[in-house]
Structure 1
Amino acid sequence: MIANASVPVPPGRQQAILGALLLDANRVVSGDWLIEAIWDGDPPSTARSQVQNCVSALRQIFRRLGEPSPIVTSPPGYRMRVPDHLLDVGVFGQLTARAATAERAGRLEEAVDLLREALALWRGPVLGGEVSRPLRARAARLDEERLGVLEERIDLDLRLGRHRRLVGEISGLVEEYPLRERLRGLLMLALYRCGRPAEALAVYRAGRVVKVANVGLEPGKELKRLHAAILAEDDALLSGHPGPGGADPKSISVPHQLPSGIADFVDRESLIEQAESVLSGENERAPGLRILVITGKAGVGKSTLAVHVAHRMHADHFADGQLYCNVAGMGAAPATPADVLGRFLRALGVPGAGIPDDLNERTEMYRTLLGGRRMLIVLDDVTSETQIVPLLPGSDRCAVIVTSRARLTGVPGARLLKVDTLSTAQAVRLIGNVIGFDRVREEAGAADALVRLVGGLPLAVRILAVRLAARPHWSLATMLKRLADDRHRLDELSYGDMGVRASLRLTYDALPPHAARLFRLLGLVAVESLPMWVVAALLDDDTARSADALELLVDSQLVDVVVTPHSRPRFVFHDIIRLFARELLADDQQERAATTALERVLGGWLAQVQWAHRKIYGGDFTVLRGSAPRLWLNGGHMDGVVADPLNWLETERQNLCLAVGQAADYGLSELSWELAVSLVTLFEAHSYFDDWQQTHLRALSAVQEAGNRRGEAALLCSLGSLHLSRNRLGSARSVLSRAQELFEELGDIHGLAMTLRNLSLLYYVEGDTARSARACRQALDGFRQKGDLVGHAHVLGQVARIDLDAGRYESAVDRLNTALAICREVNVPRVEAQTRHRLGEVLFRQRRYDQAKLVMGEVLAVVRSDNDLVGEGYALHTLGLICAETGDNAESERLLRAAIDIRERIMDFVGAARVSLDLAALLDEWDASGEAITLAERAVRTFADRKVPVWEDNARDLLGTLLGARRSLGRRASGL
């Protein structure tokens, strides 16, 4: 950073931006504030780009001087990084802080010297020259701070007996600042101590005339009290200083209003350390009032944390007392600032008759009484900035803690501290603190389950703990059972005057109608996290109004926002809050409207899944479509689907699976089965077999209950694919036979073709190649009639496999080339990779190993890039066999073992056994350790258990060969 150098900056916008950044050095200054600072509420349409250009120009100035730019981009704006020792205001803050320390230690001479050094840094008004109104207002804060320090220095000089030399200096200041009552009081006191009481009284009279003429008010109470003391020739004026801005300490009460701390408070050390750092000001670069806003959702423990921190900091930092008020901002009758000030002034020793009626006068008296004192003010349950601002002290020796469910980002200089739910360990420790750790240790599993059931919400955890403490005969398992029914869970989370429902109700009742309606509707949606389009779908409103309603819920901490790099914001419901929203929705009379809203959301999921399938398969190929309504989204909501459809499906997997079940629960069977079968695109590619089964069985129950025969057939056909993937041949035969019957009865050519394709695979695995070939021919006819090109390519690959087994290599190659042409035409890389894999097998059988290895290497790269574990397992298997034929035994073994590992990971135990057979045959040639026999024995068991007789016979043949070879080797060894 350049020091002691003059750097010219062009006047106008660049100087304004530089000034704004320096006024808040080392803090983020938003782009909106910079626009306000330049154009004062009337920006042009290009304001944001002009700000960016100015920042760029300022950076260039530093670079031309050979220095790195101190201006860094920090969303939502910029930050000017300046070391404290290079910024006058930073040095000023350090010097005044040291002076305060010296004063407390009684070293008044040192304190005065430090304050003089600090004041000497000022060379005129902050941001001298023509600047905008917003910048001038911000700069005025520093000018005001300088005057306060100047008054403090004069006050210390008076205490050191230097009144005679001060009269001239203070007289000039009073002339410059005629309405500043503390300066006028200091001049009156200096004159009185110089033996000039008549002049002191004249200064008072002149000040009264000025104030009445300019603002229509009488002098303040402190100045009046000093005037009365001079008239009475009070001897205390010759030693003490009860003047304005520095009231006599003996006249102020020392309040201790904090509620008692909670004995079983669970330490949240990180939060406590952050809070204490803010309140102590240890990391502040310049003096100023320290304000900590503790924010979080209802029941998260904001008030408990605030009181705990306040008690911890009292003795060391705020020995002059604490003021506390529960503003009850969420209640029916919140306290007004005037009410709170009235309470605080009484606590500070002001008699009721002396408390002004006017809010501004109360604020002035309050700040006067706190001037120079070290006090902590705790304002609990605040809802808006307007409740806070009149209650803020004027002294930087004080600090303020605010708790609020809103984020209150508009409080100047405030630091926000977000309080979240408890971790499992913290919540269990809280329960143990209340009921005893022996009970918790005896039922550790139940304790963890209780915490998970209430999402670690501190209020809920505490209610559970006190209920268990009040009923020592209850086990934790009993409490867990009572909470199991989510319809009555909120009933259980109530004890005495503590209740989760009541706490949430306060927040909900404060919402405007459109936000309250959105909150209720959100209770409908069973998702892990909400994308923004869901909100628009629920409200049937894709305008900014729906986004505004959601932001109100975020501000009220009813919904949490999650922002991840390179993605749009997501919104999350705490489980307990979701239950509350569902309760409200159940009481809502517009039940049909709610179901319609849910149908729009589910239609939105279906539309996106359909679009993802189209992008992956080049169209609506190899999937059955129904008549469920779609909600086609506008704007950028489809960006993720379009950019990377398989990744989008992966990201939304949990939400989509939940949507299938929710559609079934609400009797939307058509939506349920369509969503389920459409998700096979993901389930098959990433081997999510459990999700595949669970979604399909849930949807199957719904369609069977509704008599939806086509939906039933589609799901049975898809379940047949799943059973084939898992080599459950009996189950596959059962569901595919039923699907074939239904599609034939319905005359559904496309559905029948899909089923016959799956049946052809089943017949092939069972060893009935003739029947498999017939099913393939029928499936090809159906796919041709329906124009399903990808389905056609799939079946061509299956026919090629039959040709390959029969040694008809040229025929197999012809069919595969036709399939590849189709894949390239519709741009379906995954199916193309599967077809190329089959082509690699043909090349391998033809002993064209170099070409086969090249093709399989390309296939492996594609399936790995798509995270296609099934395809990767097949590719590794074939590559392993190729390497064995070319003599690369070590690489062959590595690849085959990797293929076995992948097959077992995706629960394809039959596939793993088939690879194991090949590895066993190769190990028998290379290795005499006996592992080959172990692999073959395990494969025999697998094929027998899974009822795959053809492969069981192959495995038994190999095992017999291996055992025979081992016996022969034994006989030769014994003959030696």
Structure 2
Amino acid sequence: MSLAPDDGLIFRLLGMIEVIGSKEQMPTPPRRQRTVLTALLLEANRVVGMEQLIYLVWEHSPPSTARAQIQICVSALRREFTRAGVDAQIETRQPGYLLRVAADKIDISLFERRVAAADLAVRQGRLEDAATILRAALSLWRGPALNGAGATLQSKAIRLEEKRLAALENCVEAELSLGRHHALIGELHSVVTENPLRERLRGQLMVALYRAGRQPEALEVYRAGRDLFIERLGLEPSDQLRRLERAILTDDEVLRLDHEDRAQVAAHNVVSPHQLPAATSDFIGRQEVVARVQDVLSGDHMTMHVVNISGKAGIGKSALAVHVAHRVAAETYPDGQLYCDLRGTHAQPATPAEVLGRFLSALGVMGSSLPDGVDERADMYRSMLAHRRVLVVLDDAASESQVHQLLPGSPSCGVIVTSRARLTGLAGSHLVEVDCMNSDDSRELLGRIIGRQRLESEPVAVPALIDAVGGLPLALRIIGARLAARPHWPLASLVGRLSDERHRLDELAHGDMVVRASLSLTYDGLAPEARRMMRLMSLLEAENLPSWTASALTNDDHRSFDLVERLVDAQLVDVVGTDITGLPRYRFHDLIRLYAKEQAAAHETLDTQLTSVERVVGGWLAMAEQAHRRLYGGDFTLLHGHGKRWQPPAQHLDQVLQDPMSWLESEHQNLCAAVLQAADAGLDELCWDLAITLVTLFESRSRFDDWQQTHERALEAVRRAGNKRGTAALLCSLGSLHHSQRRMDATRAALVPALDLFTELDDTHGMALARRNLGLLEYTEGRPEVAQRIFEQSLSGFEQVGDVIGRAHVVSHLAQLSLDRGENELAADQLRDALGMCREISSPRVEAQLLYRLGGAMLAQGRYEQARQLLTSVLTMVQRSGDTVGESYALHSLGLIHSRMRMVEEASDLLWRAIRLCEENVDRLGAARVQLDLAQLVAQRGEAFHAIAIVEQAIATFQELRLASWESKALAVLEKVAAQSPLSAAATSNGGF
């Protein structure tokens, strides 16, 4: 192992800024030059725009000569580089400048390269090397990063400090795994004292003390941390830390370190997805093909290995891919395996954005943190797989374009793609074509299915059966299943049936007809009722089907379950799990479903097909309605249409809806698919009603992609049908979505026509909902008087239709307006009235929202302790329900309360947590609002430069969202915190540090 030397560094930014030339060390540049130099170094070898440099030097008040002064700074830096012999050049590049320098000449770049090298060493089990490299990386730090660079760059310094702590944690993890616990204790004590809320460091100190035979001290470290977490955050330690305490108490052997366990201990924090389906237990033959694919995937990783397994339908591509994947996974791809069925044979194949979303979730990215665009998702995906050894299996690809953005960029990864087509457009891929099974392998496969004794009892019939299906694996499995289900049949009788099928052998030798003809053998053996069930089930577009959908398809609750189980016995439908009632969930193999759909088209009228789908969508709607009612106490804040409902059994509803939000979350893919299918089928009333009802889920879980897709498709359907009320309802809901994402122009463009349509229809409830949303928009855009008038109109509408929760919502908004005007007592009375309405019908989620507002009223009244207790209970409520949006608001208010109570450290921690959660929820306005309060708190601690940097981030957000009123508030905060800066009086000083 070798490390790049430190003595070749030219630019040192991890501490006081230093520039070292071959002739001498440059003197510290004046302030403006120092800011320009630091900005260029942070973007080394990339162009930094003139406007950005001007902003970094003067922020929002540049002089008219700003461009000229930046040019003077650059000229001065160039002269100093030449005089000191600095091996770097500042080039003029539109629209600014580029500092060209070798990456290994900047300490930040060297630090990041060493951290990446250490990460690779850990994954390869080289813990000694990893620890040495990380210590070398940490040695580059000489103090706080970018020390002296100015306030505008402090956000960069904060991110660098976070990277340093993460590297230190990884280094300690490696050294603990190497048995160096004695040497680490002193360092860990110091670091934990400096970072008392960092749980991983605390846990590492506990482990080090325990392994050093100091069990009581290890437990005391935990207890001190627990007291601190409860006092500052109102939270217990994490599950991981609590498990560690229990392990120390019980002297659990898992904490004892031996040589074999070290690599596993060091890597315990790595997120490693394992998504491969179960390998086929009776996989037969293919030795040469398996060896070829395995050799490609296990070869030297100079470039990424991509294997394209190609062949006709039913040839066993998926089974082969999964079989080989399991064989190479553990040794060659230990960091995980990702799997996705791309549904290339479906009418609507999986999109790259959808697949990337699933993969990023499996890699630990929260749903609310997913980027919107497919390019941004692909960038995040490739970054997360860099330096990791992960195998990606992409099953049933339609084309190269579907696959390109799903390929990792790292040469350490491997990819298997299965497709009916030869994907020759995938650069560097190895094409592997799969042919039919030979006679020996075919015989072995049949013997495993029906039993060797039965196979050997009819030696003449066996080769005839194999020849009849041409060794096609899917056809062989179907024949075997049919014979296994009918043990009284002689094999010869089935040979006769195959012989009677005209042109059967020709069909088996050419493309799709081979699968269709083979499937008909099993299909023909079903009872008429089972055949019809198979046809109807194939009509549903869903990930998998709960058992009640079969009852809805036939409108018969008594025999449907038995009929589906007959399809399972015939291996035409797979059981893929169970729901919370213990009943199975079903899924078709793609090819079998295609065949069944053809049979449905041939034997079921269009009216029958539509009616069956309508009942299932009506069933999804009935269940979603019930979930909403249980969450809100009734059909409040929600419009419904006149689509036909199909009611699942009441007992089933009670079981699956014991936790309504969990049920909505678990079924969200099927529910969204039902909206899309209803739209395609022209079921406009069911379509818009179900889409609107699902907002209960979309809003609380930040599922903005699903919200937008379902509503836009439903909107197309209702407009085609001339359905004005459905159009208005969907536009109103889309207005809420746009407002949640702070797209204000789009919000107004949706809500104004929605209100117009509701007014035309004289729909009081719809007008109340649209006005509530418009009131929120006016408030957000800084027009409180307009918002007040609209809220009052909305309140009147909700009162007329008896929507209790709608009334409570609007009253809470009116209370906020009262708070903004300083009418705190009035606001508190309004909120108590709203709480009374809410508690009459038992709506915990809305109650939490109202209690949050009441806490704000108490804060404004100076009743800090009461407000703190109330908001702490609200935080518990929203965390228990998984409402991350509500959690960010509760943390923000608790931070303000602690700030007023002069509990500065606790307030700072709470506000930072609120910002992080807002960012995860893609709530940019929320994050910026919290930043304003955090900046004032930071300024009070004497950190004016840091405070200014935080306010500047908020201002940038308000400007981008075009929220003038919030921008004005932020500028006032900026002026306030800037006045606390020790340099505020030296506005144009060119002095030193």
**TM-score, structure 1 normalization:** 0.52
Q: How far does residue 335 in structure 1 lie from its aligned partner after superposition?
A: 14
Q: 1:766 aligns with which of 778, 781, 788?
A: 781
Q: How far does residue 330 in structure 1 lie from its aligned partner after superposition?
A: 15
In 1: Cα distance, 2:832 partner to 2:590 partner: 54
Q: Identify the residue that residue 526 of structure 2 maps to in structure 1.
A: 511
Matched residue type, 2:652: H
Matched residue type, 2:852: H
**Change over 3 Å in CA distance of 1:329–1:508 after alignment to 2:** farther
Q: Identify the residue that residue 572 of structure 1 maps to in structure 2.
A: 587
Q: Identify the residue that residue 554 of structure 1 maps to in structure 2.
A: 568
Q: Identify the residue that residue 381 of structure 1 maps to in structure 2.
A: 480
**Change over 3 Å in CA distance of 1:323–1:957 after alignment to 2:** closer
Q: How far does residue 303 in structure 1 lie from its aligned partner after superposition?
A: 11
**Change over 3 Å in CA distance of 1:339–1:734 after alignment to 2:** closer
Aligned ranges 1:618-767 → 2 under 5 Å: 618-767=633-782
Contact 1:714-1:739 within 8 A present in 2 as well: yes
Matched residue type, 2:290: V
Three-state SS of the structure 2 residue aligned to 1:971 is coil
Q: Give CA-to-partner distance per residue, 1:231-253, whole Å, 9 cap, x none.
A: xxxxxxxxxxxxxxxxxxxxxxx
In 2: Cα distance, 1:691 partner to 1:771 partner: 32
Q: Identify the residue that residue 457 of structure 2 maps to in structure 1.
A: 341
Aligned ranges 1:338-487 → 2 under 5 Å: 341=457, 343=459, 381=480, 383-385=482-484
Matched residue type, 2:532: R
Contact 1:337-1:391 within 8 A present in 2 as well: no
**Change over 3 Å in CA distance of 1:804–1:508 after alignment to 2:** same
Contact 1:558-1:577 within 8 A present in 2 as well: yes
Q: How far does residue 340 in structure 1 lie from its aligned partner after superposition?
A: 6.0
Contact 1:793-1:823 within 8 A present in 2 as well: yes
- 1:594 and 2:606 matched: no
Contact 1:801-1:812 within 8 A present in 2 as well: yes
Q: Give CA-to-partner distance per residue, 1:787-830, whole Å, 9 cap, x none.
A: 11110111110111111111111211111111111111000011
Q: Identify the residue that residue 358 of structure 2 maps to in structure 1.
A: none
**Change over 3 Å in CA distance of 1:775–1:339 after alignment to 2:** closer
Q: Give CA-to-partner distance per residue, 1:359-390, whole Å, 9 cap, x none.
A: xxxxxxxxxxxxxxxxxxx9982534586699
Q: Give CA-to-partner distance per residue, 1:767-797, whole Å, 9 cap, x none.
A: 2111111111111111111011110111110
Q: How far does residue 574 in structure 1 lie from its aligned partner after superposition?
A: 2.9
Q: Identify the residue that residue 833 of structure 1 maps to in structure 2.
A: 848
Q: Give CA-to-partner distance per residue, 1:507-554, whole Å, 9 cap, x none.
A: 3333222112111111211111111110011111100x2111100111
Q: How far does residue 264 in structure 1 lie from its aligned partner after superposition?
A: 3.1
Q: Identify the residue that residue 893 of structure 2 maps to in structure 1.
A: 878
Contact 2:719-2:727 within 8 A present in 1 as well: yes
In 1: Cα distance, 2:520 partner to 2:787 partner: 64
- 1:916 and 2:931 matched: yes
Q: How far does residue 579 in structure 1 lie from its aligned partner after superposition?
A: 2.7
- 1:266 and 2:290 matched: yes
| Unmatched tracts of structure 2, length 5 or more | 1-282, 295-312, 325-439, 464-476, 492-506
In 2: Cα distance, 1:918 partner to 1:336 partner: 76
* Larger relative contact order (Cα-Cα within 8 Å, sequence gap ≥ 6): 2
Q: How far does residue 912 in structure 1 lie from its aligned partner after superposition?
A: 0.8
Q: Identify the residue that residue 540 of structure 1 maps to in structure 2.
A: 555
Matched residue type, 1:343: P
Matched residue type, 2:964: P
**Change over 3 Å in CA distance of 1:898–1:578 after alignment to 2:** farther
Q: Give CA-to-partner distance per residue, 1:581-636, whole Å, 9 cap, x none.
A: 22332333412101100000000011111111111111111000111111112253
In 2: Cα distance, 1:345 partner to 1:633 partner: 48
Q: 1:815 aligns with which of 830, 851, 864?
A: 830
Aligned ranges 1:15-94 → 2 under 5 Å: none
Q: Identify the residue that residue 936 of structure 1 maps to in structure 2.
A: 951
Q: How far does residue 931 in structure 1 lie from its aligned partner after superposition?
A: 2.7
Contact 2:939-2:980 within 8 A present in 1 as well: no
Matched residue type, 1:557: Q
In 2: Cα distance, 1:584 partner to 1:799 partner: 59
Matched residue type, 2:953: R
Three-state SS of the structure 2 residue aligned to 1:620 is coil
In 2: Cα distance, 1:713 partner to 1:689 partner: 20
**Change over 3 Å in CA distance of 1:330–1:928 after alignment to 2:** closer
In 2: Cα distance, 1:387 partner to 1:869 partner: 55
Aligned ranges 1:200-219 → 2 under 5 Å: none
Q: Please, which moves more after superposition, 820-829 or 501-510?
A: 501-510
| Unmatched tracts of structure 1, length 5 or more | 1-258, 271-296, 309-321, 348-377, 393-490
Q: How far does residue 344 in structure 1 lie from its aligned partner after superposition?
A: 7.2
In 2: Cα distance, 1:933 partner to 1:497 partner: 67
Aligned ranges 1:487-526 → 2 under 5 Å: 495=510, 499-526=514-541
Q: How far does residue 346 in structure 1 lie from its aligned partner after superposition?
A: 13
**Change over 3 Å in CA distance of 1:862–1:268 after alignment to 2:** farther
**TM-score, structure 2 normalization:** 0.51
Q: Identify the residue that residue 328 of structure 2 maps to in structure 1.
A: none
Larger radius of gyration: 1
In 1: Cα distance, 2:611 partner to 2:760 partner: 33
Contact 1:716-1:736 within 8 A present in 2 as well: yes
Q: How far does residue 680 in structure 1 lie from its aligned partner after superposition?
A: 0.9
- 1:864 and 2:879 matched: yes
Q: Give CA-to-partner distance per residue, 1:194-223, whole Å, 9 cap, x none.
A: xxxxxxxxxxxxxxxxxxxxxxxxxxxxxx
Q: Give CA-to-partner distance per residue, 1:118-174, whole Å, 9 cap, x none.
A: xxxxxxxxxxxxxxxxxxxxxxxxxxxxxxxxxxxxxxxxxxxxxxxxxxxxxxxxx
- 1:616 and 2:625 matched: no
Q: How far does residue 494 in structure 1 lie from its aligned partner after superposition?
A: 7.7
Three-state SS of the structure 1 residue aligned to 2:288 is coil
Aligned residues: 547
In 2: Cα distance, 1:970 partner to 1:658 partner: 63
Q: How far does residue 328 in structure 1 lie from its aligned partner after superposition?
A: 8.4
- 1:966 and 2:981 matched: yes
Q: Identify the residue that residue 167 of structure 2 maps to in structure 1.
A: none
Q: Identify the residue that residue 850 of structure 1 maps to in structure 2.
A: 865
Q: How far does residue 265 in structure 1 lie from its aligned partner after superposition?
A: 4.2
Q: Identify the residue that residue 210 of structure 1 maps to in structure 2.
A: none
Contact 1:760-1:771 within 8 A present in 2 as well: yes
- 1:897 and 2:921 matched: no
**Change over 3 Å in CA distance of 1:923–1:302 after alignment to 2:** closer
Matched residue type, 2:634: G
Three-state SS of the structure 2 residue aligned to 1:570 is strand
Contact 2:550-2:564 within 8 A present in 1 as well: yes
Tell me how large the CA RMSD over aligned residues is: 4.0
